Structure 1
Amino acid sequence: MNWKITLRFIITITIVNMMVLLLVFSSLNYFLYGQYTLSRNARDTNEIYSTPMGAEEFASDFLQFIEFKDDNPNVSEEGIEILKKNNGWVQILDNNGYEVYSDLKPDNAPTHYSPVEIVHAYKYNGVIGDSSIFIGMIKNNDLKYSYIIGLPYDLVARYIIYFNFSKIFKSYKQAIFVTLFSTLFITILISYLFGKKLTNPLFKIINGIKILASGDYNVYYPEKGIYKDICSSINNLSLKLKENKMEKENLNKIRENWIENFCHDVKTPLSSMKGYGEILLDDNYISSNEEKDNYLKIILEKTDYIENLLNDLKLTYKLQNSLIPLKRQKVNLNDFMVEIIVNILNHPLYENRKVNFSYKENPVFIDLDTHLFSRAINNLVYNALIHNTKDTIIDISTSNDNGVCILIEDNGMGIPKEKLNHLFDRNYNDKLFKENKKGSGRGMIISKEVIEAHGGTIQVTSQLGQGTKITIVL
């Protein structure tokens, strides 16, 4: 896998580099030997200097501006204008090298040239003024004339390179081979080093994905470099998979606890039901119909307890795993609390109990699942009634200072510290919270799950002999 990626990268980079190299050579060749058109460029601007061959071709084509009047050569006004634009000058020589016409020439330009002087001036820059010399020839009848075009050598210059063509042609194959081989070797070497730097982090990322696929989610990569975003995504994926694994383990643990708690909670009432059932089947143990009815009543109570237990365990399981969609509706919390309190005081067992309600603001609107939330409040208030004496005063209040707050306070017996710490513990086994005639003993757990499902918190503080305070913040 690693070598496949590296090899593909090297081939790609090599092809790209060779194409760039060809493009550079083509551009250089065009710059050195590019085409020049006098009729367009020279008349418009100094475009004859755009390529080295432009000046040579300009001089060669300049003969179109040379005219003969009475067999005397001269340059047209258009030609002179072009020379002025390009900072050039012109001399026309007869067959013996004497000047017969000139314009714009420098002061040190001679009026007669020997063949050697012409060759010398043509070969070297700056011999005549600050000019590079270009030569052309024109005929008029049977007479031949030479003309010299001078152009500034700071814009166009001539340099001579000497070649040994016999050696060049003998070794051109070797030269081409060496050039191509060295270029290819350097390109592959650079591509390999550069590709290795790019692909090494990629190999680590691929290896990290394999590790994640194997179930090991302890993968982390520094989020830097060109693969910063990919490393960040893998780190997030690793974190998410780790969280999902923990959630799955917690879910399995909850299921195990649910089954364990169910078996434990059902074991005692089932044993009682079994014992009383065996007594009812044995005529030797039944002394009267009244005793029989009493046993049947106990069995019925145990059945109700198991039914309540099943319903409460099912509800807590669903709340813990967000399996119950909340049917929220906007309610006036004060009116909602009044309705709950009235229903509690209408119960025959609690109609003479002291339950007070007060509020700071009215109305206080909030979105609640009224069915679930009323059950949570009922559980908390009933606990205060059941586990305290009849003269206990329960004060309930609402406020809207820093979030919606509900306080349920009593001046009853209070809760011991060791029991207070386990108030919402599903695995805590205590007669105070379990198997009473009013429910399954899981009222506090259900209340906490309902409040947290609404995005709220519940806190319980208590001192023995001074009462208990429950604070709900939504």
Structure 2
Amino acid sequence: MKKSGCRTMFHMYLIFFLSLLGTLLAAAALICWLITLRKPDGTFVRSDWPVKFSDSFQEQIIFKEDGPGVKQNGLELLRENEIGIQILDSTGFELFHYQKPSQAEQSYSAASLLSISKTGRLKSSSLTAVIKTLSLKDREYSYILFFPVKVSKVTMYLNGEHFTAGKAVILPVTAILFLVLSISGMLYGFRTAEAVKQLTDSIREIAARSYLPVQGKGTFFEIYDSLNQMDQEIRESDRLQAETDRMREEWIANITHDLKTPLSPIKGYAELLLDSGSINQEQCRQYADIILKNSAYMETLINDLKLTYQLTNNMVPMDPREENIVRFLKELVIDLLNSPEYEQRTIRFEAAAETIPYSFDRTLFTRAFQNLILNAFAHGTSDTEAAISVSVPDSTLQITVSDNGKGMTAAETKQIFRRYYRGTSTEQKREGTGLGLAIAKDIVELHGGRISVSSSPGTGTVFTIAFPLH
């Protein structure tokens, strides 16, 4: 969820950033459009080029005896830029012209010159006109330069003196951009608020266990995917919790019965022992043996409960010491086969080496591997055989405990390590606490290992335990 939330936030900021960047780029493009113009030769210059050209062109005007004129360099500049010129006297009468446009007049009134100065163009003409004045020998002259550009597309004065046409374009466009950005932000805000509301409703539905999976789209698609996954995990957790509660209730009922079962013979034979007058020594020994056997069974139940509690709460005292794991397992097998209960059983043993050192808690390993081996006998037939194999592939201590018993179904294999679960693949009475394999798994994991099981009906079961060798 953290990753998804970061991506969603990044997506939202990216949209905002792109919107802002688009607005800035549009504004920059508008400004460039307003303050630049294209010359006849195709090059772009600043929009104040006509004014600056007009100011500097004064140096190209010369006066002779027969009147004013333009230097040869000036004529070449006018010809290259397709610019026309008129030089007027103080009354507005033309004294000289070059490349004069057809719309230009022979003489201008003061009002006409004022109009050209304000508007920057001739009447009924798309040419830009710039008027400049000069003085010579106390006489006033003026000249008009005609540029082949449109005043409506440029502003010749950056100081705002003739910015009327520019304002007529830039202000509406700026207002439109601001309006578009504001409306887009509001729409996106409403959409985001609606999406957040849907997310809030979805979370409430998950809490109420009434959520239906949603195929997320757009900005929040990853959040919806996470919500769908979380809902699925919660439902699976609820199912497992309900199943665990059911199994625990069954286990409590069974364990209560199992505890009461040995109490009955203990109590009965203890009462018989009280009446020692009618019991001979052989009967007394027999009764005592029954009492001890049932007491041991009760002790096993209680010890399993205690160890399960300690493993669950990480309260198991560990005393790991480095020993030869091969020798330890051999001794464990010998002790089991020497027990009267299992002396007719067969346990095969195989090791890749005689000595494999490993650090482990001897008491806990004894409990774990006893549970694994005895599980094969408890859920098999009288001729079921067990086998232990020890090897070291790829710097890993691997121990397998297998049997040729009835095997398990996929459903049983899935639940075999769960607490309170008692296998059903046996015709014998389902004795035990249902904690043996769960305890074995916890002990293996306590030593940094992992355990897995593979089984199928009719082929037996194989437990594979792997410990990293450091």
Note the alpha carbon deviations across 1:16-35, whole angstroms, 9 max, x for none: x99x9999899968965x69
- Residue correspondence of structure 1 range 182-201 to structure 2 within 5 A: 195-201=189-195
Matches for 1:287-366 after TM superposition, within 5 Å: 287-288=278-279, 290=281, 294-315=286-307, 334-344=326-336, 356-359=348-351
Q: 1:383 to 1:364 in 2, by over 3 A?
A: same
Q: CA deviation at 1:244?
A: 4.0
Once the two structures are TM-superposed, the CA of residue 79 in structure 1 deviates from its matched residue by 6.5
Q: Is the 8 A contact 1:355 1:394 kept in 2?
A: yes
Q: Distance in 1 between matches of 2:176 and 2:386?
A: 95
Report the TM-score when normalising by structure 1. 0.59
Aligned-pair distance for 1:221?
A: 2.4
Look at both structures and tell me which one has the larger radius of gyration over its CA atoms.
1
Note the 1:376-387 alignment, pairs <5 A.
376-379=368-371, 381=373
* 2:451 is the counterpart of 1:456: yes
Q: Is 2:125 the counterpart of 1:125?
A: yes
Deviations 1:268-293 (A, max 9, x none): 11222333344455x5x752473556
2:263 to 266, 270, 273: 270
Provide the C-alpha distance between the structure 2 equivalents of 1:271 and 1:298, rounded to a whole number of angstroms.
11
- Whichever residue aligns with residue 221 of structure 1, its letter is V
Percentage of pairs with the same residue:
27
Q: Is the 8 A contact 1:97 1:112 kept in 2?
A: no
What SS class does the counterpart of residue 138 from structure 1 fall into?
strand
Bigger drift between 315-324 and 288-297 goes to 315-324
Residue type at the aligned position of 1:260: A
From the superposition, tell whether residues 348 and 273 of structure 1 become closer, same or farther in structure 2 (CA, over 3 Å). Answer: closer
Closer, same or farther: CA 209–72 of 1 in aligned 2, 3 Å:
same
Structure 2 portions without partners, runs of 5+: 1-14, 154-172, 466-470
- Alignment size in residue pairs: 404
Deviations 1:378-433 (A, max 9, x none): 345557789988x99866555689995636557xxx76999xx8996527698945
The Cα of 1:473 is off from its aligned counterpart by: 2.9
1:78-227 → structure 2 map (5 Å cutoff)? 86-95=81-90, 100-101=95-96, 105-106=98-99, 113-115=106-108, 122-125=122-125, 132-151=128-147, 153=148, 155-157=149-151, 195-212=189-206, 214-216=207-209, 218-227=211-220
For each residue in 1:300-325, what CA deviation from the matched residue of structure 2 results, as whole angstroms up to 9, or x when unmatched? 43222111112224445777899879
Contact 1:125 1:157 in 2 (8 A): no
Q: Deviations over 1:106-144 (max 9, x none)?
A: 387799823389999922437xxxx64433333334433
Contact 1:426–1:445 under 8 Å retained in 2: no
SS at match of 1:203: helix
Q: Deviations over 1:168-199 (max 9, x none)?
A: xxxxxxxxxxx9x9999998876665554443
Letter of the structure 1 residue corresponding to residue 144 of structure 2? I
In structure 2, C-alpha distance between the alignment counterparts of 1:35 and 1:108, rounded to whole Å:
23
Q: Which residue of 450, 460, 471 maps to 2:462?
A: 471
Cα contact 1:95–1:144 (8 A) shared by 2: yes
Contact 2:407/2:456 (<8 A) preserved: no
Aligned alpha-carbon RMSD (Å): 6.0
SS of 1:123 mapped into structure 2:
coil
1:369 is displaced (CA, Å) by 6.7
| Code of the aligned partner of 1:115 | Y
SS at match of 1:238: helix
Given that residues 87 and 96 in structure 2 are in contact (C-alpha distance below 8 angstroms), is that contact kept between their aligned partners in structure 1?
yes
